[in-house]
Amino acid sequence: MTPFGTRLARAIDERGRFCVGIDPHAALLEQWGLPDDVASLERFALTVVEAVAPVVSVVKPQSAFYERFGSRGIAVLERVIAESRDAGALVLLDVKRGDIGSTSQAYADAYLDPASPLGSDAITASPYLGFGSLDPMVEACHRHGGGLFVLALTSNKEGPEVQHARSGGRTVAGTVLDRLRALNAGAEPVGSFGAVVGATIGATDEDLDVNGPFLVPGYGAQGGTVADLTRIFGAASRWALPSSSREVLAAGPDVGALRDAALRGNDAVRGLGA
């Protein structure tokens, strides 16, 4: 299969870089006038898919909002993945998994094998059991043409206590970025192994040029701006995927209004890295 990085570069050229989070949390269901139940989850999520998946390059369902409804919620997530991909969007499943040995392999099989009902184009992953614990996921990406976005410099206020800690003269975040840079060495036009770097992290001394993509949460309603992205990523911003959910999803339940919100978001970040 064509590597994820190649497919992502093509999608950005064709559809732009804006990533829409499909996050049906209880407050948004209520805002849409829906009760907090699985039927409403399905209506909400598939309405968003209908509106945005045909026009944006990447959608990012957050697995937890589906998992809270048990097996019926997971069945909805399966439809979100399948229907988004059928509409031409890449699916970045936000699961932040990280474990060791056979468990890590099972996560890779669940989310990165195209034969799985949850098989996606890419997933988020946590490296905090050691970057090598992600090896089964890395190998699955090589085998199936998938992508991996690894937590590096996140927007949450608790992140620095781990990510800025030092070992052997390097910050933890710097070590993660080094490992991604090595995985992406020589890849053209961009590698398949990306970093999660928040839009609200402020200044950083880390070298963010990993020849890979960036998932950038914290953009839009959470305070991150286009100016922040340019400042944080510099030339590497050409591979940034600013991600927003509330700013788009609040426009629902009207399909046209949701699509217009997604297109406005796309237009706002179109010139990044130019």
Closest by Cα among 11, 17, 59, 56 to 229: 17
Q: Are 136 and 105 in contact (CB under 8 A)?
A: yes
Following CA atoms 96, 102, 103, 107 in sequence, which dihedral angle do they give, to the nearest 10 degrees?
A: 50
Q: Which two tokens stand for residue 140?
A: 């699955």
Q: How far apart are CA 151 and CA 173, in angstroms?
A: 8
Q: How far apart are CA 66 and CA 142, in angstroms?
A: 28
DSSP 134: G
Q: Are 57 and 12 in contact (CB under 8 A)?
A: yes
Q: How far apart are CA 201 and CA 224, in angstroms?
A: 9
CA distances from residue 35 to 29, 32, 257 in whole angstroms, order as listed: 7, 9, 21
One-letter amino acid of 55: V
Locus of tokens 């217009």 = 260
Which backbone phi and psi does 189 adopt, to 5 degrees? -75, -15
Residue 20 pairs with which residues in a beta bridge?
Answer: 59, 244
Q: Which sequence positions are flagged as catalytic? A: 96
Q: Which two tokens stand for residue 116?
A: 């799985």
Q: How far apart are CA 236 and CA 114, in angstroms?
A: 30
DSSP 97: E
